[in-house]
Each structure stands twice: as structure tokens, then as C-alpha cells.
Structure 1
Amino acid sequence: MSVLTLASDPQDATALEGAEAHHARLAGALAGRVKMLLTAVDRDPSAAGKLHAGLVAFCDRSLLPHAAAEESALYPTAHRMPEARLLIEGLIGEHRCLTALVDTLRAAPVPADAAADARALQVLFEEHVAKENGLVLPLLAMAPEVSLAGLLTDMHHRLADDTRTRGAGEGHHTEEGHDMREDQVEEAGGCGGVCGCGGAEEAAEPELDVREVPHALRHATVFGALDAVPVGTAMVLVAPHDPLPLLAQIEQRNPGAFSVEYLERGPEAWRLRLSHR
């Protein structure tokens, strides 16, 4: 069934597609960061420490504000619909579980202790957005008395205000703000064992294998992983084909930020080192 069939008007159909795409970007970004952390825990504890801190920061700046904005702007309207009331209460409970998992990640003394909770966070978030995409958003889009487009506009205004408030004190962009700008597009020094400076073996570089990642999340997963790669370090990407469209999007997203070196060119896998300049 198409979103045009589900939505009560074309604006809500477009809003539904946009919300699903935004969820895919968040889920992909989270998956990329978690995968990088899990890989680094096995290969290089020093790199894992940075990735652990980056994952917590991503959750604080993107995942948790997104959940809070949903509760403020989206959930109250859905909760007034009898067929959605229990579902919304369950989703609010999942928000509390997401927050608790992030707090557990934050308190983990070493990255190895955080690995299981990071994976649990990823699984819960993917299941959570699947319920929103498959149940909550279509219910709102089908209701003639509800403007899903208006609700989502309010939600993104809340996110933008939150981003500006935090950004004024941090002096750099947040992942959520960066992701919101991507809605208009198409879809750190010292070696530490993961850089491309020649001071470490390639095997120590975090590796992201996207061959088993669902296609809808694949590019967002790579973007999330790249966001976790500090300047002066690198990661190895394993893809099922030559990822030329992805490389073009990486360059469009961060012009000149990453250099690309092919390590293997098929036929079953393409391996590329992406170095953050």
C-alpha cells in the first residue's frame, strides 16, 4: 500500500515519507556508530574509548532530543485517538528505556562494558521507529482532522530550537542539526591504532561491513560511522559493489573531508580506506 493511499492529503503523504526517511537516517547513524564501537573494542581499546564517547554524545545531541520532541509535538495528538492510546503509552515507555540505556552507556567505565548496551540500544531504537513508521505515522496521516505535516513541522521547530540552544554553548554543529540539513539533500591526531598515518597496521583500523545492512539504512549507516571517525584517523568500508554514488554523497556532505583509497576491487567485496583529513 502506498503512502498516497494512506495519507488524507498530498502534504501529509510527503510528510510521512520525510518522517520515515528521517528515521532511517537516525537509525543508520546509530547503527554505524555502534558497529564502529564493537569493531574497535576487539581491535583497539584506545580508539574504542573515543568511539564510546562519540556514541554517547550522538545520543545526547540527536537521539534523546528527537524522542523528547516526539513526545511534545507528535504523541499528544496520537494519544487522543482511541486506537493509538495504548501504543503511544508503550512508545513513551520505550523512550524511558532508551534514556536508561544511554545513561548506562555514559556510566560504563570502559568501552568493552558498553558494547552489549550499545547493541541493545540499536535494536530497541530500530524496533521503536518501525512501530512509529508502520503504525503511528500512518494513523495520523489517515486522519482527516489531523495535519501530520503541521505536527512534524512543529516537531522540527522544537528540534531546531534545541539545537540552537545547545550549539550556542558548544561552538560546533550537532548531529541532529547536520541531519536536518541533509533533509534538503538526497538521501582526531596521534595514531591510537586507527589512523592512516602509517603508524599502525591496517588491521587495527575500524572496519564497517555494510553488505548485511538493509539497503534503506546503508548510506545513513556509513554517514554515522564517518561522523565517528576523528580527524587524522581512518576507517575501512566493505561494500557489495563499487560505492561510487555513496562516495559522491560523502563528498557532497563534507567537501574535501575524506580521502579514498581502494584496498580491494571485487568481485565479491569492495574494500576502501576512508581517511578523515
Structure 2
Amino acid sequence: MSVAPKTPERRKPGAVFRVLAAVVVPLYGWFAKIEIRDAHKLPADGAFVMAPNHHSEIDPLTVAVATWKIGRLPRFLAKESLFRVPVLGAALRGTGMVPVARGNQGSQALRQAKVLVENRSGVIVYPEGTLTRDPGLWPMRGKAGAVRIALAGGIPVIPVAHWGEQQYMPRYGKLKLWPPRRPVTFVVGDPVDLSDLADRAQSRAALEEGTERVMAAITALLEELRGEKAPEQRWDPAQHGQAETGRM
């Protein structure tokens, strides 16, 4: 496992992060033995947008634990209303989660990007927006959230892929406690080049093009992990009469 050197962000995590890590990392270790590949490709310092695939309800824990082990603090987007819930709101603020509110997506992305750049921190955004509906668990059509934030702040998008969680938490299935420590692989990809889209960051065409580049990069990483090719046609929930709900 290649691991990036400790960063100023990692050396001074807040108390909430330290408590969560002390509980979650060893607990999740019961279910998964995570192998991390190409950890050096995640920036050791500065802002980033991490874009992972999403095929199991439990895989946010894989992403969070792997990100922590690499040396960066795992932060996700969270609905703004959750920040007003007692206890939960304090935990979200204490771990620096990034609020998502209803409203103009362009201006919201600009605010989110500004916070990331100022704090030299990262955010994890699932570009599919929800669990993949693809029958083979391949990445489906993406949403523009990750690219919108990245273009708003000139922040790199880092594609990642992971595979193995379906062994103990199948999509829409029940958590399996035995056997423990199933192998899960987490691989970090090269930043997705969006430089040619920067001058038209708010256009729908640019956001769609950037999102497809991100989804293609994630899919290529997952093909590497699975040792097989993804379907040529990406699954599109809109064309299969399935609602898209969940994360941005």
C-alpha cells in the first residue's frame, strides 16, 4: 500500500474526527481488509474533489476510511437542514462537512469551492448521485455536482474506484457479519483534465462533457479492479424509468 506523507490537515484533525476515527476505522476493519493503490495520486495538500463510484450502501465507509489512511480528512456533502439537527449538526460542523442547500447551483458551487480552497481541504462527491442502478454494478450516468465545484474553484477532480463491498453488503441487501475482513480494493486515479472547460464553466455542455470525462475515468479504474470491461452503453436511469435520488 502506497501512502502519502502526513499533511498539516491530518496532523491536526478536530476532536470529533479523532473520536470517529478511533471507533470507525477498527470497527470497519472487521468487515473489510482495504488495499489502497496509488495513494500518492491524491494531493498531499490543498483542495480536491474526490469522485468515487457507488455500488453499495456501505461504501461511503470504505471511501472515508481509505481517505483517512492516505492522510486526508474525509468530508462529504450533506444537506444543509441536517446542520440544524441537535448533536448531528454539531458533528457535521465539527468534521467540516460541506453543506448543500436548495437554490442556484452555480452560486452554491462557487461558495463551496471557496471554502475548500481557503481551507486547503477536500470533499467527496458521488457523481452518480445515488447507488448505481446498473445491473452489473458499473457506474451509471453522472450528475454535474463534482465538476461544477471543481470548475468553480479551479480544483482538481480525483477519480477513485473501489470494489469488494458487495461481498458483505450487497446493493439493497443485508449486512453479512461473517466471514470477517473481506478483501476490498481502493484505487486512486490521475486528476481528470478539465482545463479546456474552465472558460465556459457554467454552460450545460461543459458540465456534461466534464462529468462524462469523470465517469469514464472512474469506469476505467473499476475495469482495472474487476479485470473486465464495462458495457459500452452507460446505464441511464432516466431512460429506464427510475427516479434519481440521493447525494448530489
- Per the normalisation by structure 1, the TM-score is 0.23
Q: Which has the higher strand share?
A: 2
Q: Which has the higher helix share?
A: 1
- Per the normalisation by structure 2, the TM-score is 0.25
Q: Max radius of gyration: which structure? A: 1
